[in-house]
Amino acid sequence: MNNPTQKLSIAMICDPIGSNKSGVVVSTLRFGKLLKERGHHVIFIAAKSEEHREHSHHNEIKAYRFRSLPVPKSGGWNLAFPTVKELKKVFTDEKINVVHIILPMSGAIVAIRAAKALKIKIVAHSHSQPENLFMDAPKFIQPTMNNLWNKYLSWVYSKAESVIFPSALAQSLLIKLNKKNQPTDVISNGINLEHFKMMDTGDFHTRFSIPAGKVKLLFVGRLFPEKSVDTLIKAIPHIIKKHPNTHIMIAGAGHQREKLEKLVENLNIGKHVTFLGLVSDEDKIHAYNASDIFVLPSLAELEGMVVLEAMACGKPIIISDAEMSASRYFVDGNGFLFKTKNHEHLAEQVLKLITDADLRKKMGEVSFEKAKNYDIHKSVELLEEVYYKAITTP
């Protein structure tokens, strides 16, 4: 029988924790913080990096860091290489009773071996799909790479007492990898409605040189191939042809930034685009509030936390109708879908909102109300339930 009053000791395995602001890292930090606030003991297992060469703390949670290797074109990801002996000592010293595999990277393999040796229960979290990893690879090899990665995920998931998916789409895509038929749960990454909300933007426009009096579009995310930011940029000439009083803000970092800046230059639309770079958490909230429309042209999303963040700030959304993107299911009376990688259709959908302020307002209000269904505190409660079930599994 589950004991919800029992306080747990949880090791969250996420190699790049604290080294970048990808969705999985942000989600891990948020869950860790809230679990700690609920009285649980939490640690992170992570990789050493240029920024973090020693053990560190994030939200007052200790991150044990181990020797690592950088991942090319990853935006600052490192693979951790602890030994089984090292993790067994950490897990024993910290009295860990749940190992939560956030990312199925090198640190996870060792953590699984250490947990099994100590008979510690394991929970796996699905934050990875092949489309996030291999879009830079030559087309002819992608199917093979995707198949190999899915087989690897199947192996990782088979070691866990249960598997968590951030969306029903993620569950449907990856449930076939569940060879052991262990329990699965859908738990949204959630949104902290106390932080992401409608607010004044202060001096945001001045600091980032955003022109006043424009209708502003916003993209937030990694500048990686699967985000398809080039589709948004290619749509801009079609948008400004009919509505020149438009400005686009692109927030995020990644190895495609130079390529995207060159595309902006070649299209001669520089005065309509601002690359905000990697912004602070506070400025990200300001960016949402400074915008009028949020656009996510991604080809692959297991959920799409940035969409929830924009919705919580009361913004209408324009989302790619990509088969591998769960974000498209957020569109329900609060925005429009556009045909994947079709920049002309994206422009058409954006113009529907640009030219109708009342529609923008109405759809933004719908977004705001729908965001309330994804309160992260509810997600943490569901996560606790998974942990309690895991520790009572024979």
**Which pLDDT tens digit goes with each residue over 363-389?**
999 999 999 999 999 999 999 999 999
**pLDDT of res. 177:** 64
What architecture is domain 204-374?
3-Layer(aba) Sandwich (3.40)
State whether residue 138 is helix, strand or coil: coil
Query: From residue 60, how far is each of 40, 57, 73, 119, 189 by CA, in Å?
Result: 13, 5, 30, 27, 21
Boundaries of every domain in the chain: 9-190+375-391, 204-374
CA-CA distances (angstroms) from residue 166 to 88, 157, 235, 297? 29, 15, 30, 19
Q: Which of 62, 77, 133 has its CA nearest to residue 107?
A: 77
Closest by Cα among 75, 221, 26, 364 to 232: 221
Q: Do domains 9-190+375-391 and 204-374 have the same CATH topology?
A: yes
Q: For all residues of the chain together, what is the average pLDDT? A: 92
173: number of Cβ within 10 Å: 21
pLDDT of 131 reads: 67
Whole-number pLDDT of residue 1: 40
User: pLDDT: is 149 or 329 the higher one?
Assistant: 329
What is the model's pLDDT at position 146?
78
The yes-or-no verdict on residue 179 having pLDDT over 80 is: no
Task: Provide the CATH topology of domain 9-190+375-391.
Answer: Rossmann fold (3.40.50)
The stretch 150-163 carries a mean pLDDT of 88
Instruction: Say which range, 23-27, 114-118, 379-383, has the weakest mean pLDDT.
Output: 23-27
C-alpha to C-alpha distance for 227 and 297, rounded to whole angstroms = 6
Distance of CA 91 to the CA centre of its chain: 27
> Does residue 46 contact residue 65 with C-beta atoms inside 8 Å?
yes
Residue 265 is predicted with a pLDDT of 97
Q: What are 318-353's pLDDT values in tens digits? A: 999 999 999 999 999 999 999 999 999 999 999 999
For 225-250, write each residue's pLDDT tens digit.
Answer: 999 999 999 999 999 999 999 999 99
The arithmetic mean of pLDDT across residues 84-99, rounded, is: 98
Residues linked to residue 42 through DSSP beta bridges, in sequence order = 10
Q: What is the band of 21 on the pLDDT scale with cuts at 50, 70, 90?
A: confident
Q: Following DSSP, what letter does each residue of 379-391 receive, concatenated?
A: HHHHHHHHHHHHH
User: What is the pLDDT, as a whole number, of residue 43?
Assistant: 97
